[in-house]
Structure 1
Amino acid sequence: MVATPALAVRGGGPVADGTWGFVAKVNVGETHSCTGALVSPQWVLTATSCFASQGQSITSGAPKTATTVTVGRTDLSATGGRVLPVEWIHPHRDRDAVLVKLSLRAVGITPVTLGSAAPVTGDALQVAGYGRTAEQWAPDRLHAAPVVAGAVAAASFGWTAASGGDVSACQGDAGAPVLRTNGSRAELVGLSSGSGQGGCLGAAADGTRGGDAVRVDDLASWIRTVAIEPTTSYTQYAGSLTGIGGYDFDDNRDQAVAFDYTGSGRLDHLVLYRPGTQIVFIVKRNADGSYVPVFSSTTGIGGYDLKDGRDRIVAFDYTGSGKLDHLVLYRPGGQTAWILEHGAGNTCKAVFHSSAGIGGYDLNSAEDQIIAYDYEHSGKLDHLLLYRPGTGMARILRHSGATFTPVFASADGGIGGYNLKDARDRVIAFDYTGSGKLDHLVLYRPGGQTAWILEHGAGNTFRAVFDSATGIGGYDLKSTADQIIAYDYEHSGKLDHLLLYRPGGKTAWVLKHGAGNSFTAVFHSSAGIGGYDLEMAKDRLIAFDYRSTGGQSHLFLYRPGDQITYVAGRALPPVRVVPVTVTPVIGPDSIVERFGYPLNFPHAFAGTSGQADWGTDEAEARNFELISGNGGIIWVSCTASPENGVGVIKVFPGLLNGETEIGEPHLGVTAVCFKVLGSGGWVKLRIPNVYEVQGDSRSPGAGHDVDATVVNVSSGAERTKRVERDESEQFGRTDTTCDESHQDYPDNCRETLLELRVVS
């Protein structure tokens, strides 16, 4: 009797876009992969076994292997939802369940509701996961299947397919949520923990169907204790009366700017400078909370002397990398503009410098201001907006090569209807729509009660999406001291709130953009913020990434001339979590995806070969090894037809006298060929005597660039070559000896291919 192939954990098939956005894909480096469920904005519940191999213990704390979670993305190849690093894990003592803390809060994705009652035998349930199917190693789309609860124990229960179904949990489905549904409402009652994997890709077709799950209906108290959420109040995280990181803040001219010094994508360094004195520091936070300088100078920075009291610094994305890892230094009224990049060690060098303004903007007024801005809605602050309050002058510059050119210019008409005719006018970039892009402009007039928000439209046009002559969100803007910054109140990585404060007036508000063009206060105080009193007119604050998580959700407050520095952020409830160490049992029914190449792998890319199986057993029969991968590159026939101009990557082993042939006959020799199925695909293997690797492009612009890593058989040294999509690269020349003095070394040595990895 031939068993019917199962549809893995999804007898019901692919899940529609926008459904069950709380289901998460968990990737533990390139060693393990699982499914999980978002149970609060910053916490995912999944299987503890996802983080361990047999015999390994798991302890509360940072994961041993860098881990990412994708959530809110039914189709993993799409761009919705969030992809976030994991900063902390906490396993349950007695169950295969672990709480995973994300680096940022996945605001906008609704967490799953936790069921309060255990399933009962016969209950109709659904199982949803990103694991293997009968045909797919690494499905891009979430799948789900209707199942029925089986026997229910104190901490677990079994499940089988609903009537007429054929369902198994497969590798990658560990931690997959088991849901009780009622119409559009779903509640979490279990996490998939094991299965016979019958019919799953790489498993026996006649294996046991169904699966086992860990109960979670009685874990609500544990989850609430661990998965704490920030309160609406603010508290002090750090403070000093003697400056910070060796910088004394002993001068009224002192300024601070958040900066991505390491190119990490995080604004977790502070640039501290004193215009007119040449003093500049860059400081970072240590693990113990102290700050140390990574750069300090009394002669300026990168050749810019900082000798003028008008000098100002802003962070900027000069290369379009999405990182604010360059500094713009400019002298309003002095026509000087430089851009610096961080080089080796603590060096900085100029990539642009001018004494005649920038991009046609002359910087000839002491009133001139510069901000970085996302003009193209790209998520990159790679344009500069320059304006001269009181005159109506504004210009937006695009960087290309070593030049800046205007994409918007107004000599005296302001921008988008806002006239910029008052010397008090100020402009900041803002994420008005919660898109993660600072592609709107807030223009405001302290003391004049005026506030506008502009959206960039077609061409170089702007339109107001908000305008008011009575302040914003209840904040009146009646004082000339008022300041506004964009702020990540939700710790989501998005600067989609506005923080308004009145130095010398002790006032601080945080506004949230609501329905339409409304704003409401989520925080307001007339006694400062987080213990900092804001009672001096010279008080200033900036948002920065205090914990190096990718979100500017903390505030650096300082009082120049008085040496006072302070870090404030939203308060967390008291933590009552006791660290836990467990050793998960990894049995033969484990459904953690461990990326082992499938033993049996039938697929649709057999071409004219007539070969039915493309798994590890068949590879061994053809004298090479397939070891592991993520399903993004798979072994296929060299005769597989091109699709949309993309063919196969061809690996040609050298034919050595007296040695066995490797792969399949192709073009008069033999070859082993691979199909790219995913942009981040990789496969680890061993193909001996590799001579040439050929790209997969079959028409201009199509195909993939890959890195091919080989090992020298004689020396054991590894090297990697980039194989461009429309090129080929040669490796070991097996007809000569491996002589280091040979002009072609190491191409004259026998080499074994170890890995192929897609880079673009």
Structure 2
Amino acid sequence: MHPRGRTRLTALSVTLLAGGLLTATPAEALSGGTVVPVGTHPFLARIATPTKACSGALVDPSWILTSATCLPATDSGAPVEAATVAVGDVDVSTGAGFTAKLTKVVRRTDRDVVLAKLDKPATGVPQIPLGTTAPQAGETLQVAGFGRTTTEWVPARPRVASFTVSGVNGSTVSVSSANGTDACKGDAGGPAFRVSGGTAQLVALSSTSWQHGCLDVTETRQGGTETRVDDLGDWIRKQIVPTPVSCPAGAPIWAARADGSLWRYVHLGPADGAVSWTQASAPDGSGWTGRVLAGKDGVIWDIHRHNSAGDPYPDGTLKRWVYSTGSGLGGGGQVGSGWDRYLTNEYKNRITVDEKNRIFMIDDQGRLKYYLWDDATGWWVNGAGDVLDTGWSRFDSITAAGDGVLYARKPGGELFRFKYDFAASAWTQRDKPAGAGWQMFSEIFSPGGDILYGRGSTGTSPFDGQTGPVLRWYRYSDNTDTWAPSGPDQMGVTIGSGWNTEIHVTAAPDSCRLSG
């Protein structure tokens, strides 16, 4: 809890920023202290939106830590207002410093802290490392920020002052200054750091203060509250480093060829896009001229296409097969009918299967539906399917890449990521832009773990160097909004050649899982 009566360090007014009310009077840090010397503490960050400004700390070339009150976010994780950040030797009066836009905000739910992502890395600007031990009562911390001072509304340079820790209470730290210095408006999110061996270590962020001694403040009480961050190292790493993925047995990939034969390959490098395969020496069956979809635990769904006069199954019959090592494919009984829409060119890519064996589809009304198979009963949980959403006719392809994770492509090639939480019966992500140019692929499929394969484009074979149809590998990290390193043509990693004569290619969707 914040001490009752202390004021949150809400940011400087945009009116003051626009008015340029800078004074020639030498400024003091916060409501006291000193101006940060040029060349020291380049990790100090100044954050500005159209309505306010506040402070923060650069903890990674692409990420800053600041106060949640400084940067509220929308449900999609974007800043509520357009926001920019300046780091390095920032000087408001000259425009000095490295500047970038802030594109993503990750909120801590248990304290006044957010991580914010820069749209370009602050390469060459030193970051501040995180302290690994909690502040102790009686310890001296340095508190810095770009907030107002005793004499200035908008100081040109950041200020720093010494504070003494008077108490530590869970996620907060109480601080005070012997000479009555306090943090002021605009210092919200500014770093509180200890200096050990000449190195600054971030342990907290400014949150609330009596603002004693600040310009236009008459409060006589003193002291402030900092929000601890020394114990957030693991959380920060999970946000700024791509989540690890595990594919313990590789990714089985099934290819249905134009002659109706079905072939099983295993990509041995799905986690990192390595060109390593187990090749098939013979097909696993014939008559696979319909729509093939791999499921979990070796399940293969066949939207059957009628083959001959002796074939008892009409177009659109859904059949369920199971593959086991050593025995091959078994089963093949009918488990549905009327699925012939997904044999057409218009709908063939509007159906996919996730790692839980949910079959997702876009129907003729533009609804996103799913069907879930119950292994215990040997039948569908709901034979009519469940509607998750509407308005999906705008997409010409969907690909499941995890538990409830869907990548949806528009005809123009724009790709969007969605995630549905089935336990909460709610979307946790909708329409998140994930790239463009995906119209070059005739088919996009996934082994899970936010890994995508695309076939149907042209490139250089990794085997003989010839130009022709290739299979490309991609891996997206949702937490960092980045794709895995791509090949020299910047078009994903080419992991195979050919793959252009197949009717359909599909990967077992439970092959890879996020492990972070």
TM-score, length basis structure 2: 0.45
Choose between structure 1 and 2 for higher RCO, CA contacts under 8 A separated by at least 6 residues.
Answer: 2
TM-score, length basis structure 1: 0.32
